Amino acid sequence: MRRSVVKSLVIAAAAGGLLSLAVVPASVASADSSVTVTYPVTGNTYIKAINSTVPLGPGTLTSTVDLTTGAVSSTLSLPAATGSFKELGFIPVTATTQFIQDGAATGTANLSTNTVSVTSQTTLQITSLSVAGIPIPVGPNCETRTPASITVNSQAGFNALGGGDLAGTYTIPRFSHCGLATLLINLTIPGPGNTITLTLGAGSL
């Protein structure tokens, strides 16, 4: 059953994360077979099709790491966000979106090198949309036809204890069940080359 994960991201004519991941300080790798860590997280995502950057967070990232295999299972929670851009350069568009994670995000962590890579299957859902100040009904099921596969990797300077940046790129699939706004959304939002950066703070057990 799908779990709402990233209640956040704003976009244009519709849409917009995120995502999940984790690592654990090597100091906690003891006799326990796994450990769960929670990180404060902020970030942003750049939507290429509308040339817009949307801030994410603040939220939390909860991750469980198998200390024997390095396997990671994670969930990211961010508050809903709303943002705006200009369609055709002059028509103001405002949208609120959320990401719905389809199952746990999974990946691997290397505790000795402070590196991690995690992939989330995430459905993007548009919850509200207005064009030129006029609300456009999108219904309760306006979402991507298939989940977006979002992979993030630790960046230079990342530290399993102190946090740091995780980043990646992803493709936004086409949308469906958005009523009369479906065509507008699909002409505006979907496509490759979107980026996401998550900045983790210090983790707590």
* Rounded distance between C-alpha atoms, residue 144 and residue 156, angstroms: 32
Flag whether pLDDT at 31 surpasses 70.
Answer: no
| DSSP string for residues in 67-106 | TTT-EEEEEEEB--EEEEEEETTTEEEEEEEEEEESS-EE
**What are the C-alpha distances in Å from 32 to residues 25, 28, 75, 105, 202?**
13, 9, 21, 22, 21
Of 42-46, 57-61, 86-90, the least confident? 86-90
Average of per-residue pLDDT across 156-161: 85
Average per-residue pLDDT for the chain: 82
Question: Does residue 189 belong to any structural domain of this protein?
Answer: yes
Closest alpha carbon to 187 in 49, 35, 33: 49
Q: Which 8-state DSSP code applies to residue 48?
A: G
Question: Does residue 148 belong to any structural domain of this protein?
Answer: yes
At 172, the amino acid letter reads: I
Give residue 7's pLDDT.
Answer: 31
* Rounded distance between C-alpha atoms, residue 108 and residue 73, angstroms: 9
* Rounded distance between C-alpha atoms, residue 142 and residue 144, angstroms: 7
Closest alpha carbon to 200 in 116, 99, 82, 124: 116
**Model confidence over 178-198: pLDDT tens digits?**
999 999 899 989 999 999 999
Highest mean pLDDT among 51-55, 83-87, 197-201: 197-201
Question: Does residue 205 belong to any structural domain of this protein?
Answer: no
Q: Which pTM value belongs to this model? A: 0.81
Question: Does residue 14 belong to any structural domain of this protein?
Answer: yes
Is the bond into 173 cis (omega within 30 degrees of 0)? no
* Rounded distance between C-alpha atoms, residue 78 and residue 26, angstroms: 27
Name residue, tokens 């779990």. Answer: 3
Question: What percentage of the chain carries pLDDT values higher than 90?
Answer: 49
Average of per-residue pLDDT across 51-80: 88
Question: Does residue 155 belong to any structural domain of this protein?
Answer: yes
**Domain of 178, in residue numbers:** 3-200
Q: Look at the chain and report how many structural domains it folds into.
A: 1
Name residue, tokens 């750049």. Answer: 46
